[in-house]
Amino acid sequence: MGGDNICHSCYAVAWGQGNVAQNIWDGPDPPPPLPPWAMTTREQCEQILWTFCPHA
């Protein structure tokens, strides 16, 4: 009576790179992080790094 056990690997990714939500990747091989030069404004930094943004 076990049923199927399904294990998911979820990753927080850069905004717009997710396949479940804008910033959530479900499954193997998440996209690589954006290079630091792609974050040119405080808003972009906060979207990508959330509270970990050094500019916040």
**Number of structural domains found in the chain:** 1
In a domain, 2, yes or no: no
> Is 34 a residue whose pLDDT tops 70?
yes
Residue 33: which pLDDT band, with cuts at 50, 70 and 90? confident
Looking at residue 19, its pLDDT comes to 92
Question: Strand (E) positions, the chain?
Answer: 10-12, 24-26
Task: Tell me which residue of 23, 21, 29 sits closest to 44, measured CA to CA.
Answer: 23
Write down the pTM of the prediction.
0.53
Q: Which ranges of 6-53 does DSSP label H, i.e. alpha helix?
A: 42-49
Domain containing 38 equals 10-52
Task: Return the higher-pLDDT residue of 46 and 3.
Answer: 46
In a domain, 4, yes or no: no
